[in-house]
Amino acid sequence: MSSMSTEELLKKLDDQHQAYLETFKLVHDALNNSITNTNPVSAAPQSPGSIRTFTKRRRRSTKDDGDIPEIRPSTLHSSVLSGDSDDSDDDDDLYVQTPLAPFKYDEEQLRQHFRTYNFTDAGHIILESVITKNGRLLDPVLFPDYHRADRSHNSHYSVFDVGKDGAPLSRRDVVKPGTTKIDSAIWQAVKDLNSDSESLRPAVGRITIVREPSPVVLGALHLTLNKTFDMDELFNHLVSDEVTSANIMRRPFSADSRQQKSFVFNFEYWTIVGEECQPMPWQLADKTPSTSKDHIPISRCNSVVALSLSGDPIRKLRNPARRASTDYGYVYDPWAAWHVLNIQCYPDHRHTMDVHDSTKHYVNGPEAFLHTLLSEFRDAEKRFEAIYMKISKLVSPPANFMFDGEIRDKLLFEDEEFTYSRRYFWAYQTLGLLKNGLKAMMDSYEDTFTDDVWEGKHKTLWPMLDPDSHRNKYWQKRMQKLKIDFEKQMANLFKLYEETDEKMKEIRTLRDQLFSGTSVLESRKSVEMAAVTILQGHNIKLLTMVSIFFLPLTFVTSVYGMTNMTTDHDFTPFAITMATVCVPFFFLVGALNTTSGMQFWRVRWYRFLGWFGQQGIHSSSTSPSSSAVTKTSSLMGDPSQSYPSTSSSSININHDKPKPLPHSYSINTAQSLAARKELTSNSSHKSPIKSPFSPSTTPSMNPIPEHPLSMPMTSYTPTPRPKYTSISSIDTITATTGPRPSLTRSASWWDMALKKGKRTVSSRGEGFGGV
């Protein structure tokens, strides 16, 4: 039998079933009225809910989903899984009975919504291709036929209406036959809800799942569900690059009633781009895909799972926050009519397609929300594991690693392109981001779904007002089963987290080994280059020695080659001159070519400078210009002036007159020469007595005769004078020029002394330049 005939038979069977239910209801009403009229006192009307055995749902079409037609009762599968009897599963009191508020929109209202609604920044980013000046609104057809090369709108959808029996029924049958545009099919499935007031199966809940939606589809969801969810908030979650988070606990205290009624779980992580998929414009991905075989095309992906409960609040809570914008919050009944929305923006083919089907029964909205959330956690594990396997294959050595030395050398030593350094760095950092994403995902679950939530004792998240009721006990059983499933999934995520951490350690080890091998190779190359450098130094040294050998010869020949020299053919003077110049020169160069020779001549040079300075000081001390120094040059006045004393004793004052130096020396030069003489002299140092009336003390090796002064005592108080103490000439030089020079210092103290400012001796012989 063909597929079309099967569909016709199923549709005919559904029509007969609906007709049977309507006829049975009429018979029931007639019997009820008859019993009431016959015995109005003793006969009580039977509730329509008592005919639960016959209030079965319609059988859904299986053409689109490819399911095998189910002949057995729809509650059998649920009963086997939960361990409950068929009667308890078919009890209408166990499921939500309040239908959702109806709505219906058309395409013109969707256009008007695009034109007039004030979208947020996130909405402008998502709907940029529709609401801009050159967007889709200018076209007469709102739902376009995308080109086959355009892979950005490879959308898929699953929309279910959940009846009073808790079974979801697909809405694919409402799509007009012959519809080829996926955007148009999604619009037909979501544009209305409970629009048929005479329907025998009103929807108490709706599950809407869209995968890889186009901007037009997202705009359609914004129009149809904006009164139920804060769609601007959901768009912000899609565009943001935050980690996985649960926006649930503080929502009852929000000022927006839509946020009070809703619960949002936001997934943010990464995936490998599928072969025929491409990321959304706002998702992070490679701007220019690489053609390398080692390239892993990773993209940012996100998803939003949201639940909204309708009706009136059942509890009022005081806001405990210190800086709260609202004083009270409101908690809504978990048994109210509900919406579940799941927007998946994953550019891959790893979606779980069979999360919801007609074999499942959901007692309320939170259960449907948890099933959808559990499916998202499982999909996240698959995507994380796929990236982990790709990176592991990228960084792990190939199978022939043990038998191919060339491959070992590639892994041990870095090449000129830094291939493995780049690879290990990228892999290590990428796994670190994946590890953080896994941790954020597990933390968001553990922080949100505590034991109080699973037991129905939480104050804000799905509380049970009557825990002892039959419906709440049944709901608690199903929650415990869901808790076990979630804990198993969290254990799988934690295992993947540990494997990722171990792989990061392995990559770190490979990176360190690569660095060590490359460092050893570079050190080896450096040693080789050092040997080459030393060889080049020897060659340069040889060339220098050859040049030095000919340098004195060139000098002698240049002298004798002058035109004013004699033209005699006697080479005796030439030979004598050459021997006199070349032999000492070669001897000096040979001595200076060694470290010991250089040190020997340096010491001899310093001693010569000391001797030369000593001779200069001796010549200055015997100069007749020393008598030209006047007493008025003293800073303290005339030294011959008598000052009274408080005692009868006399004070002997030594006049230490500065001795002028030869005019070719400055003060600093003379002081340096004196210091050199004292350092190199074997005799003990004797410090001359410094006169309190002299502005400075000149270092001199000759004793200066003392001139005693006798000052008689007077009756008046003497004027206080500064106290002077006698210091050595070396201390004076140290205070003026710095610390004593050392013979072992590499720099010459002579050059250091010459760098200081010179004070030349006056040509008139007036001491130290009038100091």
Same domain flag for 288 and 192: yes
Report the distance separating Cα 17 and Cα 59, nearest Å: 9
**In this predicted structure, what is the pLDDT of residue 542?**
82
Instruction: Answer with the one of 483, 511, 539 that is the final residue of a domain.
Output: 511
Q: Is the pLDDT of residue 478 over 90?
A: yes
Q: Are strands 192-193 and 338-345 parallel, antiparallel or unpaired?
A: unpaired
Question: Where do the DSSP E strands lie in 273-418?
Answer: 298-309, 313-318, 328-332, 338-345
Q: Is the domain of 36 the same as that of 149?
A: no
Average pLDDT over residues 573-586: 85
pLDDT tens for each residue of 133-182? 777 788 888 887 766 555 555 788 999 999 999 999 999 989 998 888 89
Per the structure, the complete domain to which residue 10 belongs is given by 1-88
163 versus 684: the higher-pLDDT residue is 163
Confidence grade of residue 496 (pLDDT, cut at 50, 70, 90): very high
Q: What's the confidence (pLDDT) of residue 207?
A: 97
The answer to the question of residue 615 being in a domain is yes
Looking at the structure, tell me whether residues 82 and 108 fall in a common domain.
no
Q: Which residue has the higher pLDDT, 493 or 726?
A: 493
Q: Residues 9-57: pLDDT tens digits?
A: 766 777 777 777 777 667 767 776 665 554 443 333 333 333 333 333 3
Domain boundary among 493, 511, 529: 511
Amino acid identity at 101: A
User: Under a CB-based contact definition with an 8 Å cutoff, are residues 362 and 368 in contact?
Assistant: yes
Residues 298-321: b if buried by 16+ CB within 10 A, e if exposed: bbbbbbbbbbbbbeebeeeeeeee
Whether pLDDT at 261 is above 90: yes
Do 379 and 285 lie in one domain? The reply is yes
Q: What is the secondary structure of 647-665 as a DSSP string?
A: SSS-------PPPPPPTT-
Residue 703, pLDDT > 70, answer no
Output the pLDDT for position 60.
Answer: 39
Average pLDDT over residues 97-113: 94
Q: Indicate the pairing of strand 192-193 with strand 156-162.
A: unpaired
Could you tell me the pLDDT band of residue 308, with boundaries at 50, 70 and 90? very high
Q: Residues 111, 71: one domain? A: no
> How much of the chain, in percent, has pLDDT values that exceed 70?
68
Contact predicate 659/624, CB 8 Å: no
Token pair of 708 as six digits:
């005693």
Q: Is residue 308 part of a domain?
A: yes
Residues 55 and 99 in one domain: no
Residue 645: is its pLDDT beyond 60?
no
Question: Which residue would you say has higher pLDDT here, 555 or 78?
Answer: 555
Predicted pLDDT of residue 92: 61
Cα(645)–Cα(624) distance, rounded to whole angstroms?
Answer: 36
Residue 217 within any structural domain of the chain: yes
SS3 323: coil
Q: Does 80 share its domain with 197?
A: no
Same domain, 4 and 150: no
DSSP code at position 760 = B
Higher pLDDT, 259 or 287: 259
User: Which ranges constitute the DSSP H helices of 107-256?
Assistant: 107-116, 121-126, 128-131, 182-190, 215-225, 231-239
- In this prediction, residues 86-98 reach a mean pLDDT of 68
Q: Would the pLDDT of 652 be above 80? A: no
Confidence of residue 753 (pLDDT cuts 50, 70, 90): very low
What is the rounded average pLDDT of the residues 432-439?
94
Contacts for 704 with CB less than 8 Å, ≥ 6 apart: 654, 655, 656, 657, 688
* Measured CA distances, 208 to 190, 200, 220, 306 (Å): 8, 22, 12, 10
Q: Give me the pLDDT at residue 62, please.
A: 37
- Whether 81 and 131 map to the same domain: the answer is no
* pTM recorded for the entire structure: 0.63
Query: Mean pLDDT over residues 747-757, rounded?
Result: 48
**Which structure tokens are listed for 635?**
């800073």
- The mean-pLDDT minimum among 313-322, 403-412, 674-683, 715-724 falls in 715-724
Nearest residue to 326 via CA among 265, 259, 266, 262: 259
Write down the pLDDT at residue 146.
65
Question: How far apart are the C-alpha atoms of 364 and 368, rounded to whole Å?
Answer: 7
Q: For residue range 337-348, list pLDDT tens digits in order.
A: 999 999 999 998
Phi/psi zone of residue 744: left (φ > 0), alpha (ψ -120 to 50 degrees), beta? alpha
Residues 6+ apart with CB under 8 A from 477: 82, 84
Residue 589 falls inside a structural domain: no
For the segment 380-387, the average pLDDT, to the nearest whole number, is: 95
Determine the pLDDT at residue 298: 92
State the Cα–Cα distance between residues 418 and 570, nearest whole angstrom.
74
Pair (181, 288) in one structural domain: yes
* Residue 533: inside a domain: no
Residues 596-622 have a mean pLDDT of 81
Answer yes or no: do 143 and 259 share one domain.
yes
Q: Strand, helix or coil at 508? A: helix
CA distance 206 to 221: 13
Q: What is residue 5's predicted lDDT score, i.e. its pLDDT?
A: 66
For residue 356, being part of any structural domain is answered with yes
Higher-pLDDT residue of 417 and 682 is 417
User: Across the chain, what does the average pLDDT equal?
Assistant: 76
pLDDT (0 to 100) of residue 681: 59
Q: Of 608, 729, 744, which Cα lies nearest the Cα of 670?
A: 729
**630 lies in some domain:** yes
Tokens 């004030």 correspond to 118
Write down which residue in 69, 88, 107 finishes a domain: 88
Residue of higher predicted confidence among 664 and 433: 433
Q: Which of the two residues, 162 and 415, has the higher pLDDT score? A: 162
Chain CA centroid to CA 371, Å? 35
Angstrom distance (rounded) from CA 89 to CA 356: 18
**Judgement on whether residues 638 and 678 belong to the same structural domain of the protein:** yes
Split into its structural domains, the chain has a count of: 3
Q: Quick one: which of 102, 114, 122, 172 has its CA closest to 143? A: 114
Percent of the chain's residues with pLDDT above 90: 34
**Packing angle of the helix pair 470-560, 365-395 (nearest 10 deg):** 30
pLDDT given at position 7: 66
Arithmetic mean of pLDDT, 570-587: 84
- Look at residue 730 in the predicted model and tell me its pLDDT: 47
* pLDDT of residue 745 exceeding 50: no
- Strand, helix or coil for residue 269: strand
564 is a domain residue: no
Higher pLDDT, 108 or 643: 108
